Amino acid sequence: MNKVLVIFRRELRSYFATPLAYVFIVIFLVLAAVFTFQVGGFFERGQADLQPFFRWHPWLYLVLIPAISMRLWAEERNSGSIELLMTLPITLWQAVLGKFLAAWCFAGIALMLTFPIWITVNYLGSPDNGAIVAAYVGSLLMAGGFLSIGMCLSAATRNQVVAFITAALVGFVFLLAGFPLVLDFVRGILPQAIVDAIASLSFFTHFEAISRGVIDLRDLIYFGALIGFWLAATALVLDMKKAE
Amino acid sequence: MITTKHLSKRYGDKLAVDDLTFSVAPGEVLGFLGANGAGKSTTMRMIAGFIAPSRGEVSVCGHDIERAPVAAKSCMGYLPEGAPSYGEMTVSEFLDFVADVRGLTGELRRLRRGVVVDRLGLGPVIHQVIETLSKGFRRRVGLAQALIHDPQVLILDEPTDGLDPNQKHEVRRLINELSKDKLVIVSTHILEEVHEVCTRAIIIADGRIVADESPTALEARSRYHHAVSLRFERTEQHEAARREIALLPEVAEVESDARELRLTAVPKPGANTLAAVSAIIVKNNWDVPELHLESGRLDEVFRSLTQPPGIAVSDAAQGADA
């Protein structure tokens, strides 16, 4: 476990060694605010909750999380440092886990910096803070889901742009699967069981529930399993083509 | 101790490394030679555990690289080709990271860090970002990283590539010092380096071992082994000598360089050319300011072993450029 921590620390520090981290955080906060106040109608609704804030997170993550995940392995591949990393006395899993946790922690830091919105809503009224905590947890879990997908696709290429685009695409599919528009369309052709299966694969369905303040064990298991699956896929991809 | 057995690597249809079996003992410095694309780096990457062999096995310090990769990697220091590192880190941060991964702590860590920084002259750049360093310094950072845990086994893929002559000399001296109690494998295509640092050389071509012996034994394979080189002062003597030495029964062939007024008498196998050439110089009273016995030319041996026979022959015929 100690070695996971070493990889984690190096990786997290490397985010802040370049302007990427600061640019990301600023863009994330600005967009989150724009969506909450302008598009979401935070004030106009006249309700003391953060629904207008959390509602847009899936879309924010769709575009912004690939920017965090794209460099994870593509950069190592491109600079050749992957050869150094993989010949140090660590296991593949320790490297994958350390890097993932660093990226996740970074996303968590960006998410935490949205706290003024929480303070604002508490100043204006008396929201259900338990529900808000739950929504934050759900949002963090969803960020982890997007990140694990992005990391796997980053492992498959040495080009960060390709990693970004493919991650956004696959993330889009995972989001869209839960949309009423898509579900209504498939409901016409496929039996209900399969429609439910598709819907249950979506980030949207699971995040929706948590963002309303309901933490269901099934949603937690979903995100846990999703992240586990994509991390395993990352390890597999690396093992197969790390030298290419 | 490193042992490889029937080590092979296949990329699609191409066999990059074909059935390599050898072992290296502590105290040996093995030079790994071969043309570009001969399979040097692929072999070193398999030994270092970066890529898995298609067939065969590698054992380092008694640990199988596939079954016990962490134990094998722990006892080895590896400098990958091109000395990659994390460009955005400073030298100090990077060495700390490697020391952390290698599990170095306390006094030993402080000591080893000091030793590598000192030995590789990284003091002046210790707080500089690696990206901004010159190629030579980056190479030295890579070497420092490979040495920081004082490994029993060192694998260096082209350690002197991109260094200036002084730095090259320094790295070779370092390797010579290390080799007292360690096992070092160095890949290179600089042949003078083989003579300076290696106790043994393996030449590979098309993924196969074509020679495995000491540098001296390799030189003895050269057609220039025990050849006599001489330089003249006057053109007419150079001309006369060229004709007369060619007639000596001990001499197989005379190569001439008219511009530098040099001759090289290539011996027949086992013949004592030096005595014969000396005698003829004395007899004709030529002015010969320079005369020496060659031990052999590694580059010529290298070419004859790594090129298809047809090319090697025509090349050797023109090869009078010494």
Q: Among residues B180, B117, B108, which one has the least CA distance to residue B145?
A: B117
According to DSSP, the β-strands at B208-213 and B63-64 are unpaired
Q: What is the pLDDT averaged over residues B140-144?
A: 93
| Interchain proximity B45–A17, CB inside 8 Å | no
pLDDT at B313: 46
| Contact assignment for B45 to A243 by CB distance below 8 Å | yes
Q: How does residue B315 score in pLDDT terms, banded at 50, 70 and 90?
A: very low
pLDDT band at B321 (very low <50, low <70, confident <90, very high): very low
**Antiparallel, parallel or unpaired: β B200-205 and B29-33:** parallel
Query: Is A26 an interface residue toward B (CB < 8 Å)?
Result: no
- Tens-binned pLDDT, residue by residue, of chain A (244 aa): 589 999 999 999 999 988 888 999 999 999 998 888 887 777 777 777 788 888 889 999 999 999 999 999 999 999 999 999 999 999 999 999 999 999 999 999 999 999 998 998 888 888 888 889 989 999 999 999 999 999 999 999 989 999 999 999 999 888 888 777 777 777 888 888 888 877 778 888 888 888 877 888 888 899 999 999 999 999 999 988 776 6
- Interface predicted TM-score of the whole assembly (ipTM), two decimals: 0.87
- Interface probe for B, chosen from A72, A84, A242, A244 (most Cβ of B below 10 Å), is A84
Is A14 within 8 Å of B45 when comparing Cβ atoms?
Answer: no
The pLDDT value given to residue B308: 64
Beta carbons of B120 and A124 less than 8 angstroms apart: no
A10 touches B at CB < 8 Å: yes
Instruction: State yes or no: pLDDT of B278 exceeds 60.
Output: yes
**pLDDT tens for residues B32-75?**
988 888 888 999 999 999 999 999 999 999 999 999 999 999 99
Predicted local distance difference test score (pLDDT) of residue B318: 45
CB contact under 8 A, B45 and A242: no
Inform me whether the pLDDT recorded for B311 exceeds 70: no
| DSSP string of A40-65, one letter each residue | S-HHHH--SS-HHHHTTHHHHHHHHH
Q: Nearest Cβ partner of A6 from B70, B93, B97?
A: B97
Q: Give the list of residues 6+ apart from residue A69 with CB closer than 8 angstroms, or none.
A: A103, A146, A147, A149, A150, A151, A153, A154, A163, A167
Mean pLDDT, rounded, for B182-186: 92
**Rounded percentage of chain A residues whose pLDDT exceeds 70:** 99
The strand pair at B183-188 and B29-33 is best described as parallel
**Nearest-by-Cβ selection for A87 from B48, B89, B100:** B48
Three-class DSSP labels, A174-235: HHHCCCHHHHHHHHHHCCHHHHHHHHHHCHHHHHHHHHCCCCCHHHHHHHHHHHHHHHHHHH
What is the dihedral angle through the alpha carbons of A104, A107, A111, A113, rounded to the nearest 10 degrees?
A: 120
Q: Of B107, B174, B103, which Cα lies nearest the Cα of B144? A: B174
Who wins on pLDDT, B263 or B163? B263
Residue B316 pLDDT class (50, 70, 90 cuts): very low
Q: Which stretch of DSSP H or E encloses residue B183? A: strand B183-188
| Per-residue pLDDT, B67 | 92
Question: Is A78 at the interface with chain B, CB within 8 A?
Answer: no
Residues B23 and B2: their CA atoms lie apart, in Å, by 5
The 10s digit of each residue's pLDDT in A73-115 is 999 999 999 999 999 999 999 999 999 999 999 999 999 999 9
**Minimum distance, in Å, between the CA of residue B139 and any CA atom of chain A:** 13
Q: How open is the CA angle B300-B305-B306, to the nearest 5 degrees?
A: 100
Q: In sequence order, what DSSP letters do the residues of B33-62 get, joined into one string? A: E--TTSSHHHHHHHHHTSS--SEEEEEETT
Supply the pLDDT for residue B154.
94
How many interchain CB pairs under 8 A, A with B?
68
Most B CBs within 10 A among A88, A236, A239, A242, hence the mutation to make, goes to A88
Q: Nearest residue of A to residue B98 by CA position?
A: A88
Residue B132 is classified by DSSP as G
Which of A22, A83, A158, A239 to probe by mutation at the B interface, max B CB count within 10 Å? Answer: A83
Residue A14 in contact with partner chain B when CB distance is under 8 A: yes
Report CB contact under 8 Å: A81, B85: yes
DSSP for B214-271 reads -HHHHHHTSTTTT-EEEE-SSHHHHHHHHHHHHHSTTEEEEEEETTTTEEEEEEPTT-
Global confidence as pTM: 0.86
CB B188 within 8 Å of CB B202: no
Question: What digits encode the pLDDT tens for the residues B122-139?
Answer: 999 999 999 999 888 999
